[in-house]
Amino acid sequence: MLDVTLEEVLDHAPAAVWAKLTDASAIADWLMPTEGFRPEVGARFRLKTRHLAPGGWVHAEILELDPPRRMVWAWSPAEKATPTTVTFELRPEPGDRTRLLLTHEGEIDAATGTMLRDGWPGRIELLRRLL
């Protein structure tokens, strides 16, 4: 079982953070190169990985989109595997800052779960630097 929750306050306005979460070239910079990403509910896309998935691709779909507050992805390391859920929530903070809450939940094999649990903090740090 995967149950990752990260909460970070970023020194940028929600609109700036949202832009980095919903732009394919920015996602490539802080998370993984992406193919087919569009910020639309129902958009299916892939993320290129070296470690997480057989064949090198994570398969994903946007399940929810509420700009600039919330985005939910289905995330699967194999095309036919049951997806996990990645949720990005943004909340305004005083001083033109943003509270980012990231959750990644669902059933996944233990080795992949450990990689994701260990990997998300570094990805959020890359997002912080990109901003």
122 falls within a domain: no
Calpha distance 104→15 (Å, rounded)? 22
Q: How many CB atoms lie within 10 A of CB 68?
A: 17
Domains: count for the chain = 1
Q: What is the DSSP letter of 69?
A: T
Per-residue pLDDT of 91-122, as tens digits, reads 999 999 999 999 999 999 888 889 899 999 99
Say what the pTM is.
0.94
Per-residue pLDDT of 33-66, as tens digits, reads 999 999 999 999 999 987 766 678 999 999 999 9
102 falls within a domain: yes
Residue 103's domain is classified under what CATH number?
Answer: 3.30.530.20
Residues of the domain holding 8: 2-110
